[in-house]
C-alpha cells in the first residue's frame, strides 16, 4: 500500500461534515482502498475461453489475464451445461495452475541413486528417445506360431484422461507406429465397463444423454453414482428436476451428500446391484408393466436365439463355458439363423474369426435371416429367456441378497413403472460405483435392459447417464490411449492366421447398420496415419498395426513389469501408485523397469516410490537396489495450451491458451511430437522393415513459438479429416474406403466441418434450446441425445406431446425436432430395405439403434460381453456373503492374477472367511480429485479434507471398539492401512440373509505425498477384473477393521502375513 | 441505492464448499490447514479471518419432509443438513457502530465492509458482532471478513461464492427481491411437506434490523450454530447516551448547586 498525504477535502471528518453522511458510517468513511477498488475481472487485459481440467462435466471457464499472468478463473455463465457454476475443485483452478506446488524443472534419478538431480530438458528428451529406440528393439516380437505380431512388449504407457484429445491422438499414433500395444489410461480403471455395457446394448459405449436433460426426467435413479460429490455442477440438473416435481432415488451402500437431497435413499450391500436391478426387471416382466409397443418395435425381445443356448439357471453358468480357460465360447449365444457381431466389447477375437468358416450362419457380420416371434411366446425368444433368467430374482431374494427390505423395494419398483411409458420418463445416472466390479459390464447391461423394457432410451428425461470422471476421459476412450481399440472404437487387430484388411473388416463389420461401413472408417484412419505410403496395393499399411494376443490391460502390463518384460514406462498424468488396484503390485512392477517417465504437475507417489514408498519403509525394497531410472518432466496445464476435452456428454470443447508454460513445463502434445521427431531422426537411415511404420508416419505438424509448440488445431483438423482435394469433411458419411479420404477418428468427423473449428462454438445458453446444440460440438454428428429416433413411435410421431424430441416431418420428408436426429435424415419411418441391401441401407425406417447389426436395443447380448448374454448376480471376488442366487459364487469368467502380493480371500463358507467379516466400499469426496494429483497439492482443497478417514456405523464402532476421531487399521490379504475413524449414522448395518453385515466406507484419494496425506485405500484392493472390460473390482471387498494405528516399518507386512495365515490363504484361495 | 445481499437456501445445499474455495480464490484469503476435525465433513470449523464462507454439516436421526433414509435401525430416520454461513451484513451493524477508526463502513450497496487501509486491528468490532463473524488475522494484525465482494459489485458482478454455487443455494440480488423469492420458497417447501422450512435473518424487525445475508433453514438456528435471537450489541447505545447525558446534567446541576450553596 503506498501512502499518500490526503488533501484536506479528502479527510473523513471534512467529508462527514460537508456530505450527506453526517454519522460518518457510509460514503464519508470510504477510504482510498475502497475508492480505488476495481475487480480483477474488470481490469484484466483479456478473457480467455477455457474448460475446467478436473471432472468430465466440463464446466466452461473464463480465464482473466493481466500482464501475462492469470488473475482469475471462474465459470462462463453462457455455457448451457454448467451455467457459469464451478465446484470447489473448479473454483481452485487458479491455485492449481499458478500455485507454488507445481514443479518447473526436469528431474532425473539415476539407477540406484538416493535422490533427484536436475537435468536440462533437451538432454532428457534425447535420453528418452535413445531408450525408446533401444528398448523397442529389445522387446520386439515379430511373430508367434506363424501369426504376425509386429509389436514391442518393451515399452508401455499409462494415462491420457486428463489430456487433450489432440494429445491422446498423437500418443496413440506414435506408440502404435512404434509397435507399442501396452497403451492404457484412466478410462480402463474407471469406465471401460460402461463402454462394453452401453455399447453392446445400444451400439455406442458412451452416455446416451446429457446431465442437462435430467431436468426433463420424472424419476432420476442415481445408482453407482455419488453425483453430488463427484459431479456437483451436473447435480444442478437433478436439483432442477426436483424443483419441477421429479422424484430422486439414490441407491448406494453409503449415505453421501448425494443422498442428502434424494427423496428416497435405498441402502444396499456393496456388490449386489445386479440382484437389485434383476429384481426390478423381474417385477416389470411378471407384471407386464413394460412399454410393450416400444419393446416390440425397438428391442430384440421377439428375436429367437439359437438352439444351442442354455441359460445360466441355478448353477449360474451359461452354455459355452470352458473350465480350463475360465472363459466362454460365445457362439451358442447367437440368434437363430443369423450371426450378429457386437458394436462394442469383445471383437476381433477368436470367436469372430472362426465364424468366417461357419457357412450355416451365412457367413459373418449379420448375414442370414433373423427370426422373430412378435407374440413373444416362442420359448427361445429373448423375452421368454429373460423371464426365465430373472424368475429367481424375487423381492424376497432381493431382500436376502442386497439387504433391501421388501417394502422399500416395492416402492422403488412402483416408482419405476409409474414414471415410464408414453407420458413419463426415468433416467439412470451411474458412475464408477457400477463399473468397478468383476462383473462391471453386466451392471451397465442390467440398467440398459431395464431402460429398454420401460421404453426410456432415446427420449427426453430418459437414458443412461454415465458420469465420467476426468476432463477428457470420454475423449481418451474415443481416441483411445487404450490397448484394445483404435480411434472411433475400431477394434485393434488380434493376431490371427490371416492378416489382410479384408478379413479384418469381414470379421468385425456386420452386414447391417453403420458398423457395416467399417471399411470406410478403417481405411480413412490408415490414410491419416500413413498418408501417401498407404495405398490400395499395400492394404493401406494395415500390416503396420501391431497385433494383440489376448488382454494387454494395465493390469496385464503390471504383471509383465513384475516379470521384467517391460523396460520403459510412460506415465501421462496418471498415478498408479495410489490410483490403481493393489498399489503394492504397481510399485513392485515399476521397480523392475529400466526407466520410467513421469509427466505430471507435482511429485506424485508414482514418481517418488523408489525413495519414500511404503515398501521402502517396510524394508521390502531398498532404494539403492532399485535400478529404475526415473525422469520427471513437468507438464503444462490446460491454461497453457490449447486443444479439446470431450466431456461426459460426448461434447468436445476447445479451450484456448491463456499464458505460456514456464521453464521446463511442456504440453503432452509438445512432448509426444518432439519425442516422435527425435525417434524418427534416430531411425532415419534404417533399412529395417519394422522401422517403416514409424518412418512412413505422417508427422509433420506445424509448430509455433520459441519452444516449437505443435499446433493442436492442425491435429484436430487431421482427426476431423479431409478429402482428396484437402477439403475438410463435414460428416463420417463422406468417408470412403478407396483411399480418397483421410480421417483420424471417424466419430469425430464433422468437428471441423466447413473448415471451422466447431468445438470452439460458444453460443450462449439463452440463445438456444435446452439441448445446447450450438455450444461446442458433440459426437456423433452433433447429436446430443443418442438413439433419439426412439422418441418417436414406429410411424415417426412422438410417443407423447410431453416427451417429444425428434419426429418425422412428412411435408419436408425428413426427421426434425429439438435435437439433431440420430438417424439418416431422409429415411422415412416406413422404409423397408431392398433385397441384398447392406450397411445403413439394410436397416428399416423404424430401427433406431443404427450402430447395431439388427438396428435394435439388445435385451439379450448375443455377442460382445465375455461373461454371458444376460447380467447374472455373482458375489464380488472377496465377499463375506455366499451367492444366494446361483451356485457359482463369483463370475466364472473373471480375470485373476496369481502372485504372492495379490492373494484373494476365502469363500464365505470356507474356514478363514471369518477373518475378513466386513464389506468395504470406496468413493470420492467433493473436495478431492481421483488419486489426488490435482487436489492434494492444492492448499484450498487439501485443507477441506486433509486426511484419509473411514466411515463406520455406531453399531460397528461398538462391536469393534472403534472411537470417533480415533484411528483404525483396516486389513486385507494384500495390505493394511490406517485411517481416522468417522463414526456416523450415515453408515447403516444391513440385514442380509438373516444376519447383520457391516459396511465400511473409504474415500480413496490419499497417498503419502502432498499437503493432504494418508494411506491409499488401494493398498487393500486386489487385481481381479471384469473379463469384458478388464476393470478392477474396488467398489466391494471384504476386510477386517481394528482400533488403533497400523504398525510402522516391517510390522505392517508382518500384520498382513499374520492375517493371511489365520485365514489359511494360499495361491489357490479364491481362484475357483 | 438499492440494498443488495445474499439469500442462502440451505434446502438445496449439497455441502460442496465451492463457496469456500471461490471466496478464497477471489479474495486471496490465506489457506488455513487446521487438520481433520472429525466433525462430519466440516474441516474448516467456522467463519474467521481466513474463512469468509463456511459450510456447516449437521447429521441427525430426524426425518426431513417426506424424505426416506430407509435405515433399519430404530426410528430409521436421518437427515444431513448443510448450510453455508457468511457475514450477515446487518441493517444495524454493531461492528460498524463500534469501529473507532472508521475502517468499517456501509457501502453504497448496503453492505458492511472492513477497509484494510484504515483498520488498525484494535478489535473492538470482534466482541461486538452477535454472530462472531469478525476475526483478527493474527499474522497480519487486522480484521478480515466477507466484503460481499465489494469490488465485484462495483463492476455489476455477483459475489464469487454466489457465482460458483452449483445448485444456486447461494443467491445474490437486491434484498427486497431476495426476500420475496425466499418467502415463496418457504411456502413451496411447506406445500411439499417440509414444514421445518423457515427463514432466518430476513425480518427487519429482528434484533439486528434484518440481515443483508439471510437464510432458509430446515431447523432451529442453534442446530446450525447460529444464535437464535441475535441482538445488535449497540442497540442500547442511544439510551445509554441519554442516561449518560442525564447523569452528566445531574452532576453539573449538583456542582452548580454546591457552588451556589457555598456562596450563601
Chain A interface, best mutation among B18, B51, B93, by max A CB count within 10 A: B18
Least Cα separation, residue B102 to chain A (angstroms): 6
Contacts of A947 in chain B (CB under 8 A): 35-36
The shortest CB-CB distance from B38 to any of A87, A408, A964 is to A964
pLDDT per residue over A793-803, tens digit each? 999 999 999 99
Enumerate residues 200 to 229 of chain B having a beta carbon within 8 A of any beta carbon in chain A: none
| DSSP letter (8 states) at residue A585 | H
Least Cα separation, residue A583 to chain B (angstroms): 25
The ipTM assigned to this model is 0.96
The set of residues, in sequence order, having a beta carbon less than 8 Å from that of A277 and lying 6+ positions away, is: A223, A443, A446, A447, A449, A450, A871
**DSSP E strands: which ranges in A832-896?**
895-896
Contacts of B152 in chain A (CB under 8 A): 39, 41
Enumerate residues 223 to 262 of chain A having a beta carbon within 8 A of any beta carbon in chain B: 228-229, 232-233, 235-236, 239, 255, 257-262
Q: How many CB atoms lie within 10 A of CB A687?
A: 6
The set of residues, in sequence order, having a beta carbon less than 8 Å from that of A7 and lying 6+ positions away, is: none
Q: Which of A478-487, A499-508, A603-612 has the lowest mean pLDDT?
A: A499-508
Q: How much is the pLDDT for A165?
A: 98
- All cell numbers assigned to A448: 440398459
Chain B residue at shortest CA distance from A38? B151
Taking a C-beta distance cutoff of 8 angstroms, is the pair A622, A639 a contact?
A: no
pLDDT per residue over A260-276, tens digit each? 999 999 999 999 999 99
- The residue-averaged pLDDT of A905-922 equals 97
Taking a C-beta distance cutoff of 8 angstroms, is the pair A353, A1035 a contact?
A: no
3-state secondary structure of A225: coil
Chain B residue at shortest CA distance from A85? B164
pLDDT per residue over A34-52, tens digit each? 999 999 999 999 999 999 9
The shortest CB-CB distance from B71 to any of A26, A72, A267 is to A267
Interface contact B105-A982, CB threshold 8 A: no
Residue for grid cell 525413495: A611
Enumerate residues 117 to 176 of chain B having a beta carbon within 8 A of any beta carbon in chain A: 117-118, 149-152, 154-155, 157, 160, 163-168
Considering only CA atoms, which of A45, A34, A41 is closest in space to residue A61?
A41
Q: How much is the pLDDT for A102?
A: 98
The per-residue DSSP string of chain B comes to ---EEEEEEGGG-----HHHHHHHHHHTPPP-------BTTB-S-S-BTTBSEEEEEEEESS--TT-B----SSS---EEEEEEEE---BSS-HHHHH-SSS-EEE-TTS-EEE-TTT-----THHHH-TT---EE-TTT-SEE----SHHHHHTTPPPHHHHH-TTS-EEEEEHHHHHHHHHHHHHHHHHTT-TT-EEES--TTSTTS-BSEEEEESS-GGGGT--SS---TTTTHHHHHHHHHHHHHHHHHHHHHHHHHHH-
Mapping DSSP onto H, E and C, the string for A450-461 reads HHHHCCCCCCCC
pLDDT per residue over A293-335, tens digit each? 999 999 999 999 999 999 999 999 999 999 999 999 999 999 9
Residue for grid cell 479431409: A722
Give the confidence band of A10 by pLDDT, cuts at 50, 70, 90. low
Enumerate residues 821 to 860 of chain A having a beta carbon within 8 A of any beta carbon in chain B: none
Interface contact B151-A39, CB threshold 8 A: yes
Interface contact B17-A944, CB threshold 8 A: yes
Residue for grid cell 409409474: A418
pLDDT per residue over A191-230, tens digit each? 999 999 999 999 999 999 999 999 999 999 999 999 999 9
A184, containing H or E segment: strand A180-184
Q: How much is the pLDDT for A364?
A: 45
| DSSP letter (8 states) at residue A381 | B
A464, containing H or E segment: strand A464-466
How far is Cα A896 from Cα A876, in angstroms, rounded to an integer?
A: 12
Q: How much is the pLDDT for A1?
A: 43
Interface contact B70-A264, CB threshold 8 A: yes
| pLDDT > 70 in chain A, percent | 97
Burial class (CB in 10 A: 0-12, 13-18, 19+), A84: buried
Chain A residue at shortest CA distance from B45? A944
- All cell numbers assigned to A553: 490391460
Q: How much is the pLDDT for A8?
A: 67
The shortest CB-CB distance from A25 to any of B61, B106, B165 is to B106
Contacts of B70 in chain A (CB under 8 A): 264-267, 405, 408
Q: Is the Cα torsion angle A393, A396, A399, A404 positive or negative in sign?
A: positive
Cis (ω within 30 of 0) for the bond into A780?
yes
Distance of CA A1024 to the CA centre of its chain: 18
Q: Pairing between strand A595-600 and A629-634?
A: parallel
How far is Cα A986 from Cα A921, in angstroms, rounded to an integer?
A: 14
The shortest CB-CB distance from A943 to any of B32, B102, B117 is to B32
Taking a C-beta distance cutoff of 8 angstroms, is the pair B55, B24 a contact?
A: no
Chain B residue at shortest CA distance from A75? B164
Give the confidence band of A359 by pLDDT, cuts at 50, 70, 90. very low
Contacts of A934 in chain B (CB under 8 A): none
Q: How much is the pLDDT for A923?
A: 97
Least Cα separation, residue B71 to chain A (angstroms): 6
- The residue-averaged pLDDT of A571-588 equals 98
Interface contact A86-B152, CB threshold 8 A: no
Contacts of B160 in chain A (CB under 8 A): 74, 91
Q: pTM (2 decimals)?
A: 0.96
Tell me, yes or no, if A711 comes closer than 8 A to chain B by beta carbon: no
Least Cα separation, residue A431 to chain B (angstroms): 18
Q: Is the pLDDT of residue A362 over 50?
A: no
How far is Cα A584 from Cα A1007, in angstroms, rounded to an integer?
A: 12
Interface contact A990-B102, CB threshold 8 A: no
pLDDT tens, per residue, chain B with 264 residues: 799 999 999 999 999 999 999 999 999 999 999 899 999 999 999 999 999 999 999 999 999 999 999 998 888 899 999 999 999 999 999 999 999 999 999 999 999 999 999 999 999 999 999 999 999 999 999 999 999 999 999 999 999 999 999 999 999 999 999 999 999 999 999 999 999 999 999 999 999 999 999 999 999 999 999 999 999 987 777 777 777 777 787 888 877 777 766 554
How far is Cα A244 from Cα A1011, in angstroms, rounded to an integer?
A: 42
Taking a C-beta distance cutoff of 8 angstroms, is the pair A1015, A1006 a contact?
A: yes
Mean pLDDT of all residues in chain A? 96
| DSSP letter (8 states) at residue A906 | P
Contacts of A26 in chain B (CB under 8 A): 105-108
Interface contact A946-B151, CB threshold 8 A: no
Phi-psi region of A568 (alpha: psi -120 to 50; beta: other; left: phi over 0): beta
Q: How much is the pLDDT for A354?
A: 54
Enumerate residues 50 to 109 of chain B having a beta carbon within 8 A of any beta carbon in chain A: 59, 61, 66-73, 78-80, 82, 96, 102-108
The per-residue DSSP string of A122-153 comes to HHHHHHHHHHHHHHHHHTEEEEETTEEEEEEE
Interface contact A31-B163, CB threshold 8 A: no
Amino acid at each position: 500500500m503506498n501512502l499518500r498525504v490526503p488533501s484536506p477535502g479528502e479527510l473523513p471528518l471534512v467529508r462527514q461534515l460537508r456530505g450527506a453522511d453526517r454519522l460518518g458510517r457510509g460514503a464519508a468513511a470510504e477510504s482510498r482502498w475502497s475508492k480505488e477498488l476495481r475487480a480483477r475481472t474488470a481490469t484484466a487485459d483479456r478473457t480467455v475461453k477455457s474448460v475446467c481440467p478436473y471432472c468430465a462435466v466440463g464446466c466452461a471457464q473464463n480465464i482473466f489475464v493481466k500482464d501475462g499472468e492469470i488473475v482469475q478463473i471462474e465459470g462462463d455463465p453462457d455455457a448451457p451445461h454448467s451455467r457459469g457454476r464451478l465446484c470447489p475443485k473448479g473454483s481452485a483452478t487458479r491455485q492449481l495452475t499458478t500455485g507454488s506446488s507445481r514443479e518447473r524443472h526436469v528431474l532425473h534419478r539415476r539407477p540406484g541413486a538416493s535422490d533427484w538431480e536436475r537435468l536440462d530438458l533437451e538432454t532428457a528428451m534425447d535420453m528418452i528417445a535413445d531408450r525408446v529406440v533401444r528398448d523397442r528393439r529389445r522387446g520386439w516380437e515379430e511373430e508367434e506360431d506363424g501369426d504376425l505380431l509386429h509389436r514391442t512388449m518393451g515399452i508401455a504407457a499409462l494415462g491420457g484422461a486428463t489430456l487433450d484429445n489432440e494429445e491422446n491422438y498423437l500418443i496413440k499414433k506414435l506408440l502404435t507406429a512404434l509397435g507399442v500395444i501396452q497403451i492404457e489410461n484412466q478410462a480402463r480403471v474407471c469406465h471401460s465397463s460402461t463402454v462394453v455395457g452401453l455399447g453392446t446394448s445400444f451400439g455406442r459405449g458412451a452416455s446416451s444423454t446429457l446431465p442437462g436433460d435430467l431436468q426433463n426426467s420424472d424419476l432420476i435413479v442415481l445408482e453407482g453414482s455419488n453425483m453430488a460429490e463427484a459431479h456437483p455442477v451436473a447435480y444442478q440438473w437433478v436439483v432442477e428436476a426436483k424443483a419441477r416435481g421429479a422424484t430422486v432415488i439414490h441407491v448406494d451402500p453409503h449415505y453421501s451428500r448425494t443422498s442428502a437431497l434424494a427423496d428416497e435413499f435405498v441402502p444396499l450391500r456393496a456388490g449386489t446391484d445386479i440382484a437389485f436391478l434383476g429384481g426390478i426387471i423381474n417385477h416389470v416382466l411378471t407384471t407386464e408393466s413394460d412399454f410393450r409397443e416400444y419393446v416390440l418395435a425397438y428391442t430384440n425381445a421377439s428375436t429367437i436365439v439359437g438352439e444351442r443356448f442354455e441359460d445360466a439357471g441355478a448353477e449360474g453358468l451359461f452354455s459355452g463355458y470352458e473350465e480350463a480357460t475360465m472363459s466362454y465360447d460365445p457362439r451358442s449365444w447367437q440368434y437363430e439363423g443369423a450371426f450378429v457381431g457386437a458394436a462394442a466389447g469383445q471383437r476381433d477375437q477368436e470367436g469372430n474369426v472362426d465364424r468366417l468358416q461357419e457357412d450355416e450362419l451365412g457367413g459373418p457380420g449379420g448375414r442370414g435371416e433373423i427370426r422373430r416371434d412378435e407374440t413373444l411366446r416362442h420359448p427361445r425368444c429373448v423375452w421368454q429367456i429373460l423371464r426365465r433368467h430373472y424368475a429367481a430374482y424375487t423381492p424376497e431374494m432381493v431382500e436376502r441378497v442386497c439387504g433391501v427390505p421388501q417394502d422399500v423395494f416395492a416402492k422403488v419398483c412402483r416408482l419405476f413403472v409409474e414414471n415410464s411409458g408414453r407420458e413419463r420418463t426415468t433416467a439412470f445416472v451411474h458412475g464408477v460405483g457400477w463399473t468397478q466390479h468383476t462383473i462391471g459390464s453386466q451392471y451397465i447391461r442390467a440398467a440398459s435392459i431395464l431402460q429398454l423394457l420401460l421404453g426410456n432410451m432415446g427420449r427426453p428425461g430418459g437414458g443412461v447417464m454415465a458420469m465420467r470422471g476426468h476432463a477428457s476421459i470420454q475423449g481418451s476412450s474415443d481416441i483411445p490411449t487404450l490397448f484394445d481399440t483404435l480411434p472411433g472404437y475400431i477394434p485393434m487387430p488380434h493376431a490371427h492366421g490371416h492378416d489382410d484388411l479384408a478379413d479384418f473388416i469381414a470379421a468385425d463389420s456386420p452386414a447391417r447398420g453403420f458398423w457395416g461401413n467399417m471399411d470406410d472408417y478403417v481405411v480413412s484412419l490408415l490414410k491419416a496415419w500413413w498418408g501417401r505410403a498407404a495405398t490400395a496395393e499395400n492394404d493401406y499399411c494395415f500390416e503396420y498395426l501391431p497385433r494383440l494376443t489376448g488382454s494387454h490391460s494395465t493390469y496385464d502390463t503390471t504383471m509383465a513389469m513384475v516379470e521384467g518384460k517391460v523396460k520403459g514406462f510412460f506415465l501421462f498424468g496418471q498415478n498408479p501408485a495410489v490410483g490403481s488396484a493393489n498399489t503394492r503390485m504397481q510399485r513392485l512392477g515399476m521397480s523392475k523397469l529400466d526407466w520410467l517417465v513421469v509427466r505430471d504437475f507435482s511429485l506424485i507417489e508414482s514418481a517418488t516410490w523408489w525413495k519414500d514408498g511404503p515398501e521402502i519403509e517396510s524394508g521390502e525394497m531398498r532404494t539403492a537396489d532399485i535400478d529404475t531410472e526415473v525422469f520427471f518432466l513437468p507438464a503444462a496445464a490446460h491454461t497453457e495450451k490449447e486443444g479439446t476435452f470431450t466431456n461426459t456428454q460426448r461434447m468436445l470443447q476447445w479451450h484456448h491458451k491463456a499464458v505460456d508454460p514456464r521453464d521446463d513445463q511442456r504440453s503432452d502434445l509438445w512432448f509426444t511430437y518432439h519425442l516422435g521427431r527425435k525417434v524418427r531422426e534416430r531411425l532415419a537411415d534404417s533399412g529395417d522393415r519394422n522401422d517403416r511404420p514409424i518412418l512412413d508416419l505422417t508427422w509433420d505438424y506445424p509448430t509455433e513459438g520459441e519452444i516449437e509448440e505443435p499446433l493442436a488445431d492442425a491435429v484436430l483438423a487431421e482427426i476431423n479429416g479431409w478429402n482428396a482435394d484437402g477439403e475438410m469433411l463435414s460428416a463420417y458419411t463422406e468417408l470412403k474406403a478407396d483411399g480418397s479420404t483421410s480421417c483420424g477418428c471417424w466419430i469425430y468427423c464433422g468437428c471441423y466441418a466447413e473448415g471451422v473449428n466447431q468445438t470452439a462454438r460458444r453460443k450462449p445458453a439463452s440463445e438456444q434450446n435446452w439441448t445446447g446444440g450450438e455450444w461446442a460440438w458433440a459426437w456423433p454428428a452433433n447429436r446430443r441425445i443418442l438413439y433419439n429416433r426412439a422418441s418417436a413411435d414406429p410411424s415417426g410421431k412422438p410417443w407423447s406431446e410431453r416427451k417429444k424430441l425428434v419426429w418425422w416431418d412428412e411435408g419436408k420428408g425428413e426427421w426434425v425436432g429439438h435435437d439433431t436426429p440420430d438417424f439418416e435424415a431422409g429415411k422415412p419411418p416406413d422404409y423397408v430395405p431392398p433385397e441384398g441391401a447392406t450397411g445403413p441401407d439394410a436397416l428399416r425406417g423404424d430401427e433406431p439403434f443404427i450402430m447395431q447389426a439388427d438396428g435394435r436395443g439388445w435385451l439379450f447380448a448375443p455377442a460382445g460381453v465375455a461373461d454371458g448374454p444376460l447380467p447374472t448376480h455373482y458375489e464380488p471376488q472377496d465377499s463375506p456373503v455366499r451367492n444366494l442366487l446361483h451356485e457359482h459364487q463369483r463370475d466364472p469368467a473373471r480375470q485373476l492374477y496369481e502372485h504372492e502380493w495379490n492373494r484373494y480371500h476365502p469363500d464365505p463358507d470356507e474356514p478363514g472367511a471369518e477373518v475378513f467379516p466386513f464389506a468395504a466400499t470406496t468413493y470420492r469426496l467433493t473436495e478431492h480429485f481421483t488419486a489426488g494429483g490435482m487436489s492434494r497439492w492444492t492448499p484450498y482443497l487439501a485443507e477441506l479434507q486433509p486426511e484419509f478417514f473411514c466411515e463406520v456405523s455406531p453399531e460397528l464402532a461398538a462391536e469393534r471398539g472403534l472411537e470417533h476421531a480415533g484411528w483404525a487399521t483396516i486389513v486385507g490379504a494384500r495390505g493394511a492401512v490406517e485411517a481416522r475413524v468417522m463414526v456416523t449414522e450415515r453408515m447403516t448395518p444391513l440385514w442380509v440373509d438373516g444376519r447383520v453385515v457391516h459396511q465400511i466406507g473409504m474415500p480413496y484419494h490419499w497417498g503419502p505425498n502432498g499437503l493432504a496425506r494418508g494411506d491409499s485405500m488401494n493398498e487393500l484392493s486386489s487385481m481381479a477384473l471384469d473379463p469384458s472390460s478388464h476393470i478392477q473390482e474396488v467398489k466391494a471387498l471384504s476386510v477386517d477393521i481394528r482400533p488403533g494405528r497400523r504398525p510402522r516399518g516391517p510390522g505392517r507386512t508382518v500384520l498382513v502375513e499374520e492375517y493371511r495365515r489365520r485365514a489359511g490363504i494360499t495361491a489357490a484361495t479364491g481362484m475357483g | 441505492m438499492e440494498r443488495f445481499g445474499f439469500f442462502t437456501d440451505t434446502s438445496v445445499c449439497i455441502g460442496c464448499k465451492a463457496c469456500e474455495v471461490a471466496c478464497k480464490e477471489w479474495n486471496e484469503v490465506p489457506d488455513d490447514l487446521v487438520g481433520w476435525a472429525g466433525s462430519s465433513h466440516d474441516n474448516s470449523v467456522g467463519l474467521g479471518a481466513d474463512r469468509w464462507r463456511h459450510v456447516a454439516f449437521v447429521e441427525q436421526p430426524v426425518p426431513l419432509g417426506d424424505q426416506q433414509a430407509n435405515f433399519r435401525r430404530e426410528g430409521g430416520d436421518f437427515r444431513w443438513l448443510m448450510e453455508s454461513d457468511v457475514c450477515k451484513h446487518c441493517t444495524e451493524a454493531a461492528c460498524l457502530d463500534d469501529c473507532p477508526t472508521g475502517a468499517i463502513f456501509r457501502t453504497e450497496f448496503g453492505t458492511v465492509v472492513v477497509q484494510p487501509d484504515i483498520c488498525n486491528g484494535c478489535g473492538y468490532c470482534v466482541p461486538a458482532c452477535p454472530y462472531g463473524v469478525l476475526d483478527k488475522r493474527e499474522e497480519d494484525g487486522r480484521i478480515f471478513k466477507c466484503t460481499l465482494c465489494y469490488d465485484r459489485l462495483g463492476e455489476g458482478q455477483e459475489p464469487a461464492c454466489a457465482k460458483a454455487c452449483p445448485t444456486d443455494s447461494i443467491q445474490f440480488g437486491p434484498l427486497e427481491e431476495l426476500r420475496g423469492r425466499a418467502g415463496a420458497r418457504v411456502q413451496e417447501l411447506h406445500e411439499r411437506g417440509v414444514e421445518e422450512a423457515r427463514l432466518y435473518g430476513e425480518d427487519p424487525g429482528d434484533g439486528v434490523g434484518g440481515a443483508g445475508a439471510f437464510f432458509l433453514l430446515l431447523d432451529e438456528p442453534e442446530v446450525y450454530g447460529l444464535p437464535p435471537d441475535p441482538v445488535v450489541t449497540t442497540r442500547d447505545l442511544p439510551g445509554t447516551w441519554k442516561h449518560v447525558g442525564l447523569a452528566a446534567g445531574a452532576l453539573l446541576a449538583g456542582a452548580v448547586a454546591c457552588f451556589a450553596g457555598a456562596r450563601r
